[in-house]
Structures are given as C-alpha cells and as structure tokens.
Amino acid sequence: MAPIFDAMEVKLDDAPGEDSEGRALPVRDRWHHTVQVGGTFSADLRLEASDDDGATWAELAAFTAAGIFTIEGALGELRIRTEAFTSGDPTATYGGVSLRHDP
C-alpha cells in the first residue's frame, strides 16, 4: 500500500460570530495529522480529539492566532471548538496521511 495524503477544510462555526462545539471530522484511517489555522481573528480555537465517537474530547492544541499543529498516532475524530469569538474570519485545513489502498 502506498501512503495517501488527504486534505480537507475544517468547519469552524455553525454561524459566524458565535461560539461553537465544532463538527467532528472522522480521521480513523490516518496516522500523520496536520491542522493549519489561518486568517485574522479574535477568538480562542481549541483543537480536540475523540476516540469514542465523540462521547469525550481531549484538547490537543489551542490557537489564538494562525498556526500549525501536527500529531502522529491513531485518532478517531478531530474537531475545532470555538470559544470567546469576537471578530474575524478564521479558517482551518486538515491534512492526513493514510495507508489505505486506492486501486
């Protein structure tokens, strides 16, 4: 099997300008994970992971400005939770490498 890189936009807010629990992004078949936060904003963004289908979440990183976070290992789901949103337009992109086989 050859490694495959997947990239996707991460949904940050249910409605612009509001705090949000974020939307879960399934990442079960990936091992190397990277999340890049961009944009200009005034908010606290929390990158969280779950291994039990979203019953509990553990914080991996916090962003108050643009940045990149990487982690290696098996994860179930990722999300970015928005707290203390004041203004701006934060964006986030997820990238992960998997070993699944695409014919």
The single residue listed with the structure tokens 């099997």 is 1
Length of the chain: 103
Delimit the domains of the chain by residue range. 1-42+49-55+89-103
- The residues near 67 (Cβ < 8 Å, ≥ 6 apart) are 36, 37, 61
Give 10-39 pLDDT, tens digit per residue.
656 544 444 456 677 777 766 778 888 998
* pLDDT tens sequence across 66-100: 999 998 877 888 888 888 888 888 888 888 777 55
d(CA 85, CA 45): 9
